[in-house]
Amino acid sequence: MIVTHGGNVLAVARERGWDWREILDLSASINPLGPSPAVRPAIEEALDRIALYPDQIPGELEQALADAWGVEPGQVMVGGGATELVHFLARAGWSGPAALAVPVWSEFYRAFPHALRVRADEPEKWPQRGLLVLSQPGNPTGLALPPEIVKRAIASREGPVLIDESFIEFTRLEPAVRWTLDHPNLLVLRSLSKFYALPGLRVGALVGSREWMRRLNRKREPWQVGTLAEAAALAAVRDTEHARRTREVVEQERQWLLEMLSTWNGLRVLPGEANFLLAYTDRPAAEVCEWFLERKILLRNCSRLPGVDGEAIRFAVRTRAENERFVETGRELFCAR
């Protein structure tokens, strides 16, 4: 399958001759409040060190993430974004059979092109051997897997489980990172692009047992995280007030959007738990996305993704002003009842 991503606002702006600031990008699900206010000063302070090599392994950041997530520092591997870590794992950490409990993040299809695809909502069909990849919450549906089913799958398997928690911080779901203390076959993927709004700096993390990390570190290339990225990530992770405010805003705005869109004809929105929503549409999703694009609003076409049953679009939960722009524009296409 062809792997596509959201967040192409700069390319769209160049192609159309638009100012990217005029485009409302709902195709990428990034913290609507942006990065922590502490990030910019941290980057500016770190500029004096860009003529020096960073640490080969970003130990200070791994320690900060371990503290924040309640695990041991030796359980965290930081890399150049979740994408880099997934491909590293596929290249150097696991070469056996794999299964994707779809839907999952599109990059997993490229990293594990020969993986078996099973439905996330049919756990009785999940294979017992090999690597099993899950998303919590689901991407792009935003729907959560019952924790008891996930725990049962981890405990009963003969192979490893990789849980993608790139959006977990936007939710009230129980994180799986702490389960790695008791389950040596569990790996958890985290992204600092979404919740911490740092996609341009490329920082992600993989969490697992000390034994898993020792095995992976033996094959790990040095200098995966640059000086400015580490400084920004440290500042972002330590700003707990910005994190609290983010969860509050996303929860409030997600509910507002669900209420507003419930009156639209030809659109069925799933009650997701992340900072995005998936909606099935009676119209071709490509036409819907093109219609909004002409009005400088980017949506994500999720039709034909494994595990997505029909014509579907995904859009981010943003600030009230941005959400109102989306709703007011969309009323023209999906006549409200």
Q: 300: how many CB neighbours lie within 10 A of its CB? A: 24
Task: Give every strand in the sheet of 116-119, ordered side by side.
Answer: 76-79, 204-207, 186-191, 161-164, 131-135, 98-102, 116-119
Is it the case that residue 5 has pLDDT exceeding 80?
no
- C-beta of residue 81 within 8 angstroms of C-beta of residue 194: no
Residue 224, classed as helix, strand or coil, is: coil
Report the pLDDT value the prediction gives residue 209, as an integer from 0 to 100.
94
- Tell me what pLDDT residue 3 has: 54
Q: Quick: pLDDT tens for 35-77.
A: 999 999 999 999 999 999 999 999 999 999 999 999 998 999 9
pTM value?
Answer: 0.94
Contact 89, 111 (CB under 8 A): yes
* Strands 98-102 and 131-135, sheet pairing: parallel
Length of the chain: 337
- Which pLDDT score is estimated for 161? 97
Residue pLDDT, tens place only, 228-247: 999 999 999 999 999 999 99
Instruction: List the domains of the chain with CATH numbers.
Output: 9-30+241-333 (3.90.1150.10), 39-238 (3.40.640.10)
Instruction: Say whether pLDDT at 4 is over 70.
Output: no
Count the Cβ atoms, other than its own, within 10 Å of residue 183: 18
